[in-house]
Structure 1
């Protein structure tokens, strides 16, 4: 076995200092792209592979992002399509930057009492919050201590965030509904403790007023059960029901099936999310397209830029789209 190549040999071959080799291989913003390329080429030629333990120790970083998800007593978050879809995006965004993703359960931080302590312990270099209530008291302290973080599906002054505006996708949904002749429309809200729940309701009410529609609103909480229970809460049956999540739509469709109500022959349904299951439900679900995976990728790159380049927090907005499938039909067209 030949002599193991060290950092000194790479530095000599590249004509730089040993500290420059470390910074270049750690993608430091202090090193030019030209030098980084030169060092990487020489390291590859010589067969030098830096020790990850040594790299972490030298950089005082973990190269890991904490993905903060809610903790539910009776159900794990990754049984719900939103969280694995967002995780897919985080992995896509972080792997090319040399970062790992660790799962952090909200309110269950192990031996650490606060998110600040979690970061200061170097367990994680930054945090991505999957979803947070509009009232998020821990945020002020994190902003004060300049913790690198990104909120997904929430936004707050001074905090980095990625948020999908409901306006475009819901406008397309209303245009589709009215074109099909629907004028009596029901809506099942999301959880109004969350900003996305409030914003989707506000857009629904604005669009309904613009089209002069007869509407009924039932409060829900994004869950399948709230969609199921909503059927009995409508005073009179609307010709079309929109929901704040696909899960609610699936619950509502199940309730219709159990009550012998045919979709879309007797009632049309429009969901919100466009998760993979939407294309395989019976009937396949017409829904607002919520680009969760794209948002996760964007969030990962944002927080890594804050860690590595010191970029300031910014709010990034993405648009929703709309996917027409077979859960909607002409009002009265099948009767």
Structure 2
């Protein structure tokens, strides 16, 4: 059975012609898929029963559903989402006074094996299809409307998986989300976070994307980054800096560095000095300093508060635009690096 949401409008129009149906039926079907978010062909009530039966002979609509949701004391909602093949991903709604943000996944599992990330300890089962990513965003948007009476204001691709290793589907999903028939969201309100795939960062530049880019840095020298992020062995800092400069030259889009502080690993004065050097080589507008969130498989710890303060003070003294990002949803394993803690035991 073919996925109806993967069928171009021209294909549906051709099928209507073959079935002796008027051309506008194709537009009606298209509206049911993308504007009304139909979960089945049977829901398409303005089509005749015969036409629905004929469509069912060729197509299906595999939908993503919410299997289970957890609610944090700070308002964060983490949802385990079930895919049509009975696999699971996780997505998070992060509400604040000014923003309503969806943290979305792009793969089932991950192949990069970052040592501090729960998803990194899962095998990569497969990429998400573009329509599954759209479903994920749509479901989280519905949660925002139901629980907070507000639409999503921002989307971050910081959930399970490496977005740039699912390039075509992620870009197609963003195209759909930002379209008038999707959420109509500005690309400037979308941030794609990557562990660092230099070749694909350059491809983003060539494609002149309009969304923001965040690099998960977490160590400012190759030796340490190799220890915690194996991808650095084939995408070292020099190569990544070159790719980020190329991306900025092509797009002018904002670039952010993400830097998790680990006790006695990357939190020293020397580490801060190395981070400043990296920052000055790239037109980055912000460094997000992130507190570490514990996971079962890793032995990392958070630094003491005074160490964090000293690190931040050094960055500020060297004119680095840095922000300390306090994690939300820690009580439900929804914070940065924790996704998959529940999913993998499902």
Same structural fold, with TM-score higher than 0.5 when normalized by the shorter chain: no
The structure, 1 or 2, with the larger RCO (C-alpha pairs under 8 Å, 6+ apart) is 1
Larger Rg: 1
Which TM-score applies when normalising by structure 2?
0.28
